Structure 1
């Protein structure tokens, strides 16, 4: 097994375990169902956006796992773009940075962390820690991980998975901003004006 595949697989497992552990801890300690993505009726636009994201992120996770354990099989169908092998390590670094940012965002959000837009429970508006620099650090982390998978396994499949997920995440962010502005009103508008949506924009 190649070094990049081993590192990629380890990062995938850390991502999966940290994600599931957060959901488990929210439910076990606080009785909170943290995953509300695509669940319940929240309005046509939100419902469509969440269902799309649910599909695209599942495909991304499957592709990440399959590329890590069987990239030779994938290459038989989707040929790699001609890139320097060092680019693959840049991809691993992007995955690691994105994963770190995602975990830090989950920790900072405490019990307010959700997967999807929660219309039933009013959560706290978190503006401290990493959220002082980005309104969506977990999504920035995801975008870095999407980028990392593409750079580590650069082919037409991972490219389309990257593009679809970045677009889906952005659509959800726009819906979430409307929801948060409706809930927190002027307080969120001030936060929105002072803090970047991503990192620098």
Structure 2
């Protein structure tokens, strides 16, 4: 299961982030990766997210290839159970599906960060008719799933900090979209929840 999780996470990153970014660039000429080195709030969010993702990758790698080291990451014993592990795997697969569909809905509008250079087109179809942030929702579900599969202090920190960073990014993006789209985005906010409820 540990090597499967490693393989799944690699496929997850390639299929849901690297490939869509490449396809968007080839179709539009726009680099969808919009974090820069400028000292802005959104760029600090991007840096934080890179660190969180790196910790997740290292933890998953250790779990797969050096499991003896995992014991030093302060396991949360009350959550160690095959049933909880299976729930975790169910969640990460559900998240993959949610993000995959949402990215297809976004098509050429796929961005990582805030695009201040190109015209913004609001996507309201598909998953975006259910949640204003289905991709971020999927990422949060991945963090929860990872914590359930490998319940320890590191994955707990990844979950908590990941959720906090996503909350900040969502609000920064909402402010940007309100400034860019005005009443169109206000109406969308009134009709569709930020998450699900």
CA distance 1:82–1:71, change in 2 (3 Å): farther
Q: Could you tell me which of 52, 56, 79 is aligned with 2:75? A: 79
| TM-score (norm. length: structure 2) | 0.91
Deviates most, 64-73 or 144-153? 64-73
- Where structure 2 has 5 or more consecutive residues not aligned to the other structure, the ranges are none
- Where structure 1 has 5 or more consecutive residues not aligned to the other structure, the ranges are none
Moved over 3 A (4+): 68-72
Q: Which residue of 2 aligns with 1:102?
A: 99
How far 1:192 sits from its partner (Å)? 0.6
Question: 1:98·1:142 contact (CA, 8 Å) conserved in 2?
Answer: yes
Q: Which residue of 1 aligns with 2:14?
A: 17
Deviates most, 48-57 or 137-146? 48-57
Question: Which whole-Å CA distance do the structure 2 matches of 1:98 and 1:26 have between them?
Answer: 21
1:114-133 map, 5 Å? 114-133=111-130
Question: Which whole-Å CA distance do the structure 2 matches of 1:178 and 1:129 have between them?
Answer: 23
CA distance 1:6–1:49, change in 2 (3 Å): closer
CA distance 1:105–1:64, change in 2 (3 Å): farther
Question: 1:7·1:92 contact (CA, 8 Å) conserved in 2?
Answer: no
Query: Would you say 1:50 and 2:46 are equivalent positions?
Result: yes
Question: 2:86·2:149 contact (CA, 8 Å) conserved in 1?
Answer: yes
- 3-state SS, counterpart of residue 183 of structure 1: helix
1:1-201 map, 5 Å? 4-18=1-15, 19-37=17-35, 39=36, 41=38, 44-83=40-79, 84-200=81-197
CA distance 1:110–1:5, change in 2 (3 Å): same
| TM-score (norm. length: structure 1) | 0.89
- 3-state SS, counterpart of residue 95 of structure 2: helix
How far 1:107 sits from its partner (Å)? 1.1
- How many residue pairs match? The answer is 195
Q: Deviations over 1:70-122 (max 9, x none)?
A: 33321244334233221011011111111111111111100101111111112
* TM-align CA RMSD: 1.8
